[in-house]
Amino acid sequence: MLKVNEIFHSIQGESSKAGWPCVFIRLSGCDLRCSYCDTGYAFFDGKEFSQEEILEQVAFYKTRLVEITGGEPLLQPNVYPLMTALCEAGYEVLLETGGHHDVEKVDPRVYKIIDIKTPSSEMSEWNCYRNLELSIAEAKSGVLKTEFKIVLSSEGDYRWAKNLIERYDLARFVPVIFSAAFGALHPRQIAEWILADHLPVRLQLQLHKYIWPADMRGV
Ligand SMILES: C[S@@+](CC[C@H](N)C(=O)[O-])C[C@H]1O[C@@H](n2cnc3c(N)ncnc32)[C@H](O)[C@@H]1O
Ligand SMILES: Nc1nc2[nH]cc(C(=O)O)c2c(=O)[nH]1
Ligand code: SF4
Ligand SMILES: [Mg+2]
């Protein structure tokens, strides 16, 4: 069984898959408390679903792209067989994780979107830097199944992220996406810093917050 907060069908609003129709499986519970988190409603609320019930719900939406998010999806051990079952069923599976749990045991067919938490998130001490090393090794072996996302709230966060990328030469191997913590920083400001520094990263807006009201659930 898995504790699920919501399953919904929407336009993928984030990551390099932004714009595609996608089914989202939002698992309940999170072991972090990011200062800007827009999904606090998933910290506790949810209902127990069997893997079969989840697969049935996902099939209802007739889409090939499925994202497992949360809360923190890697907290529930049964997420691992769920990811494998979704891959076996032929879906393109995305995992959105907070970047504080090692992703080594994730089915290699799953595309991982790994957050790196900045100082302003107040959670950066929990970052699992082994995930950076694993993904660089994965990319060097010719496999591209990971991207990193950094949500920025301030210029200090931008400088911190830039230093981190340079320290690992991360963007040379793995796609890196910068996003604004919604309402905290204007995307134009991030765009101007990226352009001024010639930083090889991708700027992302959370599409769903422009398509629908920013605080709407289930989109
Ligand atoms: C709600 S989290 C769930 C998955 C996982 N716990 C994580 O942090 O990646 C999904 C994504 O939303 C981002 N996010 C949460 N609140 C946000 C906000 N206010 N503005 C921009 N992105 C936000 C997170 O950084 C993460 O990339
Ligand atoms: N449309 C839409 N796209 C998303 N991509 C990642 C999301 C998430 O909350 O993890 C999300 C979300 O909540 N809605
Ligand atoms: S890790 Fe993700 S779900 Fe948890 S508090 Fe941070 S943004 Fe929210
Ligand atoms: Mg969201």
Residue 84's Cβ-count burial label (10 Å; 0-12, 13-18, 19+) is middle
pLDDT value at residue 140: 97
In a domain, 14, yes or no: yes
Give the model's pLDDT for residue 161. 98
Q: For residue 216, is it within any domain?
A: no
Does residue 76 sit within a domain? yes
Q: Is any atom of ligand 2 closer than 6 Å to the C-beta of 153?
A: no
Q: Report pLDDT for 159.
A: 98
Q: Find the CATH number of the domain harbouring 139.
A: 3.20.20.70
90 marked ligand binding residue = no
> What number does the ligand 2 atom closest to the CA of 14 have?
5
Q: Is residue 217 part of a domain?
A: no
User: Is 147 near ligand 3, meaning CB less than 6 Å away?
Assistant: no
**Cβ–Cβ under 8 Å, residues 4 and 91:** no
40 in a known ligand binding site: no
Return the pLDDT at 196.
98
Distance 134 CA to ligand 1 centre (A): 22
**Is residue 78 assigned to a domain?**
yes
Nearest ligand to the C-alpha atom of residue 14: 2
Q: Is 129 annotated as a binding residue?
A: no
Q: Give the closest residue to 164 by CA, choosing from 201, 207, 191.
A: 201
Determine the structural domain holding residue 150 and report its residue range: 2-211
The residue whose CB lies within 8 Å of the most ligand 1 atoms, and thus the one to mutate among 35, 38, 154, is 38
Q: Is residue 206 part of a domain?
A: yes
Q: What is the pLDDT of residue 82?
A: 98
Residue 172: inside a domain = yes
39 annotated as belonging to a binding site for a ligand: yes
| Contact between 21 and 95 (Cβ < 8 Å) | no
What residues line ligand 1, using a CB cutoff of 6 Å?
30, 36-39, 69-70, 72, 96-98, 115, 149, 151, 179, 181-182, 206
Dihedral (CA of 130, 126, 17, 165) sign: negative
∠ at Cα 14 (70, 1), nearest 5°? 25
Residue 35 within a domain: yes
**Series of mean pLDDT values for 10-residue runs along the chain (219 residues):** 98 98 98 98 98 98 98 98 98 98 97 98 98 97 98 98 98 98 97 98 98 97
As for how many domains the chain has, the answer is 1
